[in-house]
Structure formats: C-alpha cells, structure tokens
Structure 1
Amino acid sequence: MKWEQAIQDYRKYLKLERGLSENTLQNYQRDVEKLIGFIEGDTDMPSPLSIDQETLSAFVYELGKSVAPRSQARIISGLNSFFNYLTFEQHRKDNPMELIESPKLGRKLPDTLSVEEIDSLIRAIDLSKPEGERNRAMLETLYGCGLRVSELVQLRISDLFFEEDFIRVTGKGNKQRFVPIGGVNQKYIELYRHQVRVHQEIDKGHEDILFLNRRGRGLSRAMIFTIIRDLGEKIGLRKTISPHTFRHSFATHLLENGADLRAIQQMLGHESITTTEIYMHVDRRHLSSVLEKYHPRR
C-alpha cells in the first residue's frame, strides 16, 4: 500500500464512519503529510505498512525542534489515529505510535472578555455601512449563543426557530443541537435580514445562508477573524481575540452567574463534561460564592 492510497482510504473512513468535517479531514491529512515530508528523502522510503517506531520517534524528535508542544501533541494524536485505522482495517498488526509519548502540556485557560469589553467591541461597529448590521448580528450571535465560528458561517435561515426562541446549530461531525437565543439577539438578526440582506443579490446555492458577504455568498471563517481583530484594534483592546473568545466568554459569564455546568455543556455542544469543566478554572470566585450559598456549614 502506497501513502497516497492510505491517505485516500483514511479520509473516506473519517468522513463516512466518523462523520468529520472537511476542515478536520484536512488537518488529519496534513499530519500524515508532515510525516511523508520527513521520510521521502530516504533511499529506502518506508510504506505506511512497513514504517517502524524508530523512524517515527526520529520524526517526533525533529518535530520538537520547530513546533510548539501543543501543536506537536496534536500531530502525534493525528498520526496515532492514522495507524489505529490501519490496524483496525488489518493492514498492519501493530500501531508503531503506541509507545511514543506526547509532550506534557499544562492546561491552557481560555481567554475571555468582560461584558464591558464585548459592549465596546459591538459599539465600535460602523452601522452606517451595510455590513455594520450584519457584523453586529454576527457578534451578538457568537456571544449570545456561544457558537463556534464554523457554526456561525453555516447558520441558515431555516435554522431559525424564533417563535420557540431556539436556533438549530450544526456542530462538529455534522451533529445538530438546539441552542436558546434571546430576544435582543433575535432583534439584531431580524434587523439585518429585513434592512440589509433583503436588498442583496444572492448567489445561487446561498439563498438559505444567513450571513452573506458583499457578493451574496457565505462568509469565510477568515473574514470573521478579520472583522473581530479590526474591531479590537479600533478600541485599543490589549488582548489577542478571535471568534472563539466570544464562545469562551459566553460560557464563563453563564458560569459566573450561576448557570448549571450540564446546561452549558449542552449549549456548547461538548461531548464530554470534562471539556466544559475548563471554565471552572477561569474564575475561582464563582466556586467561593457557590460554597457560601449552598454549604450547610456556611
């Protein structure tokens, strides 16, 4: 089996069996391609079925010289998944990544914005321009519903259930969930839809996409990053922010105000509660207030 065929079969498996998105498929493929780039200069270039632990250890060692520990750990995880697939399909008898350890990582706490900082960013939007109403509606949706940027750009008009105060969100692995949406957020989406979007010429195939660019097509994730970065610079914010910062802020503010962790997990679309538990470490004042309020000895 050649590397090209192995990658092709692996991608089909990830898409059909695990239901992963195209972005995730590309990330997994890049992990394997990095390994191929390391070995392709060898006179005896090993195949996916013959490559051994020694070669993989050398690759990981070289990787550590140029890649941050977190990125290194992700690539190791991707390769581990690739060789697990080959053993699962009985192409190999063993997984040569099995004994290769990832670098030890400290838990990275998410960056958050205060309510005042979020208000400042939204106030900085130029509403005199047609895209102003769109940008305000997008930021309010990121913060008001805790969406991932990929979920925001995929949001459709047919996903809006405002009579029930919910939106339908398509998350990782094309898994759908319903997320509550507040009246303020609904108001800004409706303003954008009926004052701006209704006057746009929409490209064929994008009629149901909620947030559109000037050419009447769906926005890219990179465009959302740029909009948020520019607003941060405009107000002189001394933080590195991204669309995900709004998602972190959504979860953190809910937790600080007494929301149940399980409810936050459902709204964020986390498969495991341990992923949501990282927000317990963001502001320990919340833990003290819970103890003061609920413990019988207090």
Structure 2
Amino acid sequence: MNWQTYIKSFQSYLKIERGLSKNTIDNYSFDLFRLTQFLDKNSIQKNPITIGEEEIQQFIYAISKEVNPRSQARIISGLKSFFSYLIFEDYRSDNPMELIETPKIGRKLPDTLSVQDIDALIAAIDLSKEEGERNKAMLETLYGCGLRVSELITLKISDLFFEEGFIKITGKGNKQRFVPIGSTTQMFIELYKNHVRIKLNIQKGHEDTLFLNRRGRQLTRAMIFTIIKDLAVKINLNKAISPHTFRHSFATHLLENGADLRSIQLMLGHESITTTEVYVHLDRKYLTQVVNQFHPRK
C-alpha cells in the first residue's frame, strides 16, 4: 500500500474511533503530506512501513528551517500519532519516532482583555441593525460561558437549559459538558431569539442552530473573527484579538475573583488541568493575594 492508502485509513481512525474534529484531522493529514513531499523531493523511496528514524530525522531537520519550534513540536506529535496507529493496527512493529526529541518551547501566555475592554467592544455593536442583537448575544455568550468559537457557532436551541441555568456544549472530540450561563447572557440570547432570529428564513438543517446569518444558515468561524476584529478597530483597541481572547478572559477573570482551577477546567472542557494552569501565570498580583489571604505565616 502507498502513503495515501495508509493516510486515509488513519483519517478514518481519527474520525470514527477517536472522534476528532475535521480541523484536527486536517492538521494531522497536512503534516503527513509534508513528509511525503519531502520524500518525493529528495527521491527517498520509503513507504510508511519501511521508513526509519534516519529519514524522519532528515525531514525534521528540513522543516526546522521553515517553521518555529511550536509548529515543529506539533508536527512531531502528529507523526508520532500516525506511527503509533500503524503499530496498533499491526502494520509495523516499531515506531521510528521513538527517539525523536520534541523541541523545547516556552508556554505561550494567552492574550486577555480587561472587563472594561469587553464592555467597550460590546457597547460598540450597532444595535440599529438586526445583526447587532445577534452579535451582542454571541459576544456575551463567548465571554459569559468561555466557549470556543466552534462551540459557539454549533450551539443549538435544544442545548439551552435556562431554567436549570446551564447550556450543553459539544466540544473537542464530541465530548459534551454542561456550562453555567448567567441571567444577563440568557436575557441577550432570548432577545435575539425572540425578536431577530424568528424573522429569518431558516434553511433546512439549521432549524435548531441558535446563531444564524442573514440567509438563515449557520455562521462560519471566519465571520466571528471578522465581527470581533471590526469592533476592535472601531474602539481603537490596539490588541490582536480573536474569539479565543474572550475565552481566555473568561478564565482569567474567574481566577482573579477567586474561582478554583478545577472548576475552571470543567467549564472550559480541558482534558488536563495542566492546560488550565496557564492562567495561573497571568496575574502575579492574584497569587500574592492568595498567599496573603490563606498562608498561616502571611
């Protein structure tokens, strides 16, 4: 079998057995495509079963000149998963990635917004336009619930449990979690749902999707990015922000106000608490307050 046959089989495994998103599968596939391009370019006649550590090292050395250490680490991680899959399926007995070292990378601290920045962005939304009510509800939901942009655009009306004070979120790997939603965010969603969304010509298949575009279809990730960046320009906010900035701000503001990491982890849907721990590094002042408040020898 050639590379494409094995890659297609790997893609099916990632989708069906591991439940990974299309974006994640595309990233894994692109990494493997880069490897096959490198082999072709250098006339290296190796398939997924015969390729060894030497050829992999040559490839890693070549890409190290093109990408930063963080991207390099991601590519190495993707290749390790591919060859682990081949071993799992008994296609080969050894992993050529076993001795490949991942470059050391510093943990990148996420950008955050102050409460005042968020208030200013939301206040800049033009409510004279019908999509203004939708945009306000979306940004309030991003910040109020700490959602990923993919979770926001796929949020269903049937996922809203306002009486119980929760919304059901389907996150990475189709894992579901319940996230608390405050009364303010609920109010803005209800305003949009009952006064704007109800007027749309909703297309088939999108009847349960909460946030829709003017054509009655699910919004794209790119549209959310555009809305936020346009608002940042409008208020002269000199920060590079994205939908994820609202998620980071949600977590940081909770931590600053005394929430524990385990609760934040559950709300964000992080599989490991080490992912959530990055927020501890954001505000040294908060850590000083914790010591002063709780340590017996303060």
TM-score by length of 1: 0.98
> Secondary structure of 1:65's match?
coil
Structure 2 CA distance, aligned partners of 1:84 and 1:216?
43
> Secondary structure of 1:78's match?
helix
Tell me which amino acid in the other structure corresponds to 1:277: E
> Secondary structure of 2:211's match?
coil
> Secondary structure of 2:41's match?
coil
**Residue 118 of structure 2 aligns with which residue?**
118
Q: Pairwise mapping of residues 206-217 of structure 1 onto structure 2 (< 5 A)?
A: 206-217=206-217
Deviations 1:212-243 (A, max 9, x none): 01111101111111111111111111110011
**Residue 191 of structure 2 aligns with which residue?**
191
Tell me which amino acid in the other structure corresponds to 1:207: E
Tell me which amino acid in the other structure corresponds to 2:113: L
**Residue 85 of structure 1 aligns with which residue?**
85
The answer to which of 12-21 and 256-265 deviates more is 12-21
Structure 2 CA distance, aligned partners of 1:90 and 1:42?
28
The answer to which of 231-240 and 44-53 deviates more is 44-53
Structure 1 CA distance, aligned partners of 2:71 and 2:134?
34
Structure 1 CA distance, aligned partners of 2:45 and 2:224?
42
Q: Pairwise mapping of residues 80-159 of structure 1 onto structure 2 (< 5 A)?
A: 80-159=80-159
The answer to which of 167-176 and 6-15 deviates more is 6-15
Tell me which amino acid in the other structure corresponds to 2:252: T
Structure 2 CA distance, aligned partners of 1:50 and 1:10?
17
> Secondary structure of 1:168's match?
strand
Structure 2 CA distance, aligned partners of 1:293 and 1:194?
46
**Residue 69 of structure 2 aligns with which residue?**
69
Q: How many residues align?
A: 298
Structure 1 CA distance, aligned partners of 2:169 and 2:59?
39
Moved over 6 A (4+): none
Structure 1: which 5+ runs fail to align? Answer: none
What is the deviation of 1:45? 2.4
Tell me which amino acid in the other structure corresponds to 2:210: L
Structure 1 CA distance, aligned partners of 2:55 and 2:158?
51
What is the deviation of 1:42? 4.2
Tell me which amino acid in the other structure corresponds to 1:250: F
> Secondary structure of 1:238's match?
coil
Tell me which amino acid in the other structure corresponds to 1:225: F
Structure 2 CA distance, aligned partners of 1:77 and 1:34?
14
TM-score by length of 2: 0.98
Correspondence 1:174 to 2:174: yes
Percent identity between the aligned chains?
67
Structure 1 CA distance, aligned partners of 2:225 and 2:137?
15
Structure 2: which 5+ runs fail to align? Answer: none
- Closer, same or farther: CA 41–297 of 1 in aligned 2, 3 Å: closer
**Residue 201 of structure 1 aligns with which residue?**
201
> Secondary structure of 2:104's match?
coil
Correspondence 1:11 to 2:11: yes
Structure 2 CA distance, aligned partners of 1:121 and 1:45?
55
Structure 1 CA distance, aligned partners of 2:80 and 2:44?
23
Structure 1 CA distance, aligned partners of 2:181 and 2:129?
26
What is the deviation of 1:248? 0.4
Correspondence 1:269 to 2:269: yes
Structure 1 CA distance, aligned partners of 2:107 and 2:209?
36
Deviations 1:65-98 (A, max 9, x none): 1111111110111011101111111111111111
Deviations 1:164-222 (A, max 9, x none): 11000000110000000001000100111111100000110000000001111101111
> Secondary structure of 2:169's match?
strand
The answer to which of 39-48 and 59-68 deviates more is 39-48
The answer to which of 194-203 and 38-47 deviates more is 38-47
What is the deviation of 1:44? 4.6
**Residue 225 of structure 2 aligns with which residue?**
225
